[in-house]
Amino acid sequence: MIIRVDWWWWGKDFKPWLGGWLTWPEVYQLLIFVAGYLLVWVVVRKVWESDSESQ
Amino acid sequence: MPLNIIIILGIIGLYMLACLYLGILSYSRAKSTVEDYLMGSREFKFFSLFCAVYATNISAVALIGGPGLAYHVGWVSWAYFASAWAWLSPMLFYTIGHKSWVLGKRFGVMTISDLFFERWNSNFLRYLSSALLLFYVIPYVMIGFIGGGRTFFGLTSGYIPYWLGALITMVIVTLYVAYGGMRGTVWTHILETLVFVIGATIIFFFVAGIFGGFASVTQEIVAKYPELLNRSKMSTKLFFSYGVIVSLAVPMFPQVYLRLLIGREPKDLKKTILLYPFAGLMIWFFMAYLGMWGHLIIPTLKGAASDNILPMLLAKTAPAWMAGILGATIFAANMSTVDAQLLTVGTMFTRDFFFPMRKGKPIEKFDVALSRVLVVAFSIIAFIASLIQPAGIIKIIEWSFGGFACMVIPMLAALYWKRCNKWGALASIIVSQFISITLPIGLLPKSIAFGMLPGIPSLIGGLVALVLVTCLTPPPEKEVNQRFFGALDKGQAG
């Protein structure tokens, strides 16, 4: 599972960082999404395939 | 009627006529079988399947509630709605959807309750689970018509009254669902997906341009409303529990579950799962920033009034054609969910109640006609309810997410725990639904939720009941288990 480590900076001010638009917590949130997506990808491409082959 | 309203109505009208055309066109491809009318013969390839699942899931909440929440709490709105859901729900599409698809091909499973029956051979479990799901999903059809009425009223400044807007929405949706069945809704879902994805993208970049670009608008937010950037308006407990509940609820929405079963081959579902997270994230991401930026131009909205931020923002800053695109986008999101729910309600009544109770052989033409009549009847009932808007029904909507999410426990047990029996499943459903309904109305102390949504203690209660009761009662019938898991093994190998 993806572990969130951003609770401690919840509610704190951050200056826009990426492209003068996104703050670090926003980027971090997007990274969580990317990690989640990788998990989906691995399940679909690896687990699902081997699941079917092992039957 | 002013010219700008005529332009807006023209664009929305074109979109609605296109939906109607597709629905009626799909009728020419129909076969007179229940399987074809309710499931489109399970022949949909990747792009159709993706649009069917995605459009069914994305409702007007994304285009109205999303910006409305972001207006008050800032960008965290997209993370609240989508960061867990966008990948956890697709994971469940695999763990639940793929096995259900196999069972659909083998036993003709169409609904969640159908699967419970095949697994535990209990008609009581089938009726109970279906009745509960219908209890939650029927009010949503009403909400769809309310959304249609309010959107027409808002975008035309009252020239189209609420009742007429709701009626137009109801008539268009009912016609193409009754005519086209599953094939009709899937064809319109393709159009609806394109409309709200392209529409949302145009609006997002247009509004960013008005503010002089992303960096410029963010600087303004930093200077005037820093609380919209630091997440201080959103509690972490609410954030966490909502993410879990929504992610678990989505595959258990009867209308979404049913669409996981209509793909032609497993590869179609695989591709859908891989594309779905990006499409899901995109829509919430765009809507959250639009709502937050709207605070700069219209800063005085209180409470639920912020749900209108997007139409108000465009009315102040954009030409009429842009408001027309927004209108078509909102209707696409709204109608794509309502039509799916309407067909699903008809499917559940025929499949979960009428078929098991009927004596004698099925008559395909009669069954298809009955399904159509049910669609029309439920649509009329939901329309009348949308005019009255009873408070009790609105309350059910508040319970429904937790109620849907709790069904994931017996579903996972059905598919993965061979020892689990019907008593365990029954206990899980009763305990979890009891907590889910009684906690919000104060029959149970709110402290047991520890500040989280009621769905979390309901899930825990349902899981404990499932395990305890299963372990204390005899295992399920061997032959039923062998038939069920044998079909799964064979289907997955094939």
Q: How far apart are CA B159 and CA B171, in angstroms?
A: 19
Listed residue (B351, B142, B346, B137) closest to B253, CA to CA:
B137
Cα-trace Rg, chain A: 17
Listed residue (B155, B191, B199) closest to B8, CA to CA:
B155
B101 lies in some domain: yes
A26-35: average pLDDT: 89
- Quickly list DSSP for B398-430: HHHHHHHHHTHHHHHHHHH-TT--HHHHHHHHH
Domain span at A29: 13-54
3-state DSSP assignment of residue B20: helix
Q: Using a pLDDT cut of 90, give the percent of chain B over it.
A: 57
H-type helices in B28-98, by residue range? 34-39, 46-57, 60, 66-73, 76-82, 85-92
Q: Residue A55's pLDDT band (boundaries 50, 70, 90)? A: very low
Q: Residue B471's pLDDT band (boundaries 50, 70, 90)? A: very high
Q: How far apart are CA B221 and CA A22, in angstroms?
A: 12
* pLDDT surpassing 70 at residue B135: yes
B418 lies in some domain: no
Per-residue pLDDT reduced to its tens digit, B1-33 = 788 889 989 999 999 999 999 998 998 888 888
Q: In Å, how far are B197, B198, B226 from B209, measured between CA atoms?
A: 18, 17, 21
- C-beta atoms of B94 and A52 within 8 A: no
Which among B231, B270, B490 is the nearest to A25, CB-wise? B231
A5 lies in some domain: no
Per-residue pLDDT reduced to its tens digit, B225-281 = 999 998 888 888 888 888 888 889 999 999 999 999 999 998 999 999 999 999 999
Residue with tokens 């399947």: B49
Per-residue pLDDT reduced to its tens digit, B273-317 = 999 999 999 999 999 999 999 999 999 888 878 888 888 888 888
Domain total in chain A: 1
Chain A: closest CA distance from residue B47 (Å): 17
- C-beta atoms of A36 and B79 within 8 A: no
Q: Which of A21, A31, A49, A50 is the best substitution to test chain B (most B C-beta atoms within 10 A)?
A: A21
- Nearby residues of B280 by Cβ (< 8 Å), 6 or more positions away: B54, B57, B58, B82, B85, B86, B89
Instruction: Find out whether B435 and B457 touch, Cβ atoms under 8 Å.
Output: yes
If you average pLDDT over each of A1-5, B37-41, B381-385, B460-464, which comes out highest?
B460-464
The phi and psi torsions of A47 (rounded to 5 degrees) equal: -65, -45
Residue with tokens 């018509």: B145
Chain B contacts of A19, Cβ < 8 Å?
Answer: 214-215
Give the CATH number, domain containing residue B56: 1.20.1730.10
Instruction: Find out whether B366 and B419 touch, Cβ atoms under 8 Å.
Output: no
Q: How far apart are CA B101 and CA B44, in angstroms?
A: 12
- C-beta atoms of B493 and A40 within 8 A: no
Residue with tokens 């800053």: B317
The pLDDT assigned to B327 comes to: 86
Domain span at B156: 3-392
Q: Residue A1's pLDDT band (boundaries 50, 70, 90)? A: very low
Q: How far apart are CA B127 and CA B358, in angstroms?
A: 14
The pLDDT assigned to A8 comes to: 74
Give the burial class of A54: count Cβ atoms within 10 A of its Cβ; 0-12 exposed, 13-18 middle, 19 or more buried: exposed
Q: Which of A10, A18, A46 is the best substitution to test chain B (most B C-beta atoms within 10 A)?
A: A10
A15-36: average pLDDT: 88
B284 lies in some domain: yes
A1 lies in some domain: no
B458 lies in some domain: no
Chain B contacts of A16, Cβ < 8 Å?
Answer: 215, 218-219, 222, 229
- C-beta atoms of B98 and A55 within 8 A: no
Q: Using a pLDDT cut of 70, give the percent of chain B over it.
A: 98
Instruction: Find out whether B169 and B144 touch, Cβ atoms under 8 Å.
Output: yes
The pLDDT assigned to A5 comes to: 64
Chain A contacts of B273, Cβ < 8 Å?
Answer: 40, 44
Size of interface A-B (CB pairs under 8 A): 80
Cβ-defined contacts of B26-31 (< 8 Å, 24+): B26/B179, B26/B180, B26/B181, B26/B183, B26/B184, B26/B187, B27/B179, B27/B180, B27/B184, B29/B183, B30/B180, B30/B181, B30/B183
Per-residue pLDDT reduced to its tens digit, B108-131 = 999 999 999 999 999 999 999 999
| Average predicted confidence (pLDDT) for chain B | 89
Q: How far apart are CA B206 and CA B321, in angstroms?
A: 12
Instruction: Find out whether B189 and B332 touch, Cβ atoms under 8 Å.
Output: no
Instruction: Find out whether B149 and B162 touch, Cβ atoms under 8 Å.
Output: yes
Q: What is the chain A residue with the closest CA to B272? A: A44
Chain A contacts of B215, Cβ < 8 Å?
Answer: 16, 19-21
Question: Which pTM value belongs to this model?
Answer: 0.91
Listed residue (B465, B441, B464) closest to B454, CA to CA:
B441
The pLDDT assigned to B66 comes to: 87
Domain total in chain B: 1
3-state DSSP assignment of residue A39: helix
B364-393: average pLDDT: 87
* pLDDT surpassing 70 at residue B369: yes
Q: Check if A12 contacts B (Cβ < 8 Å).
A: yes
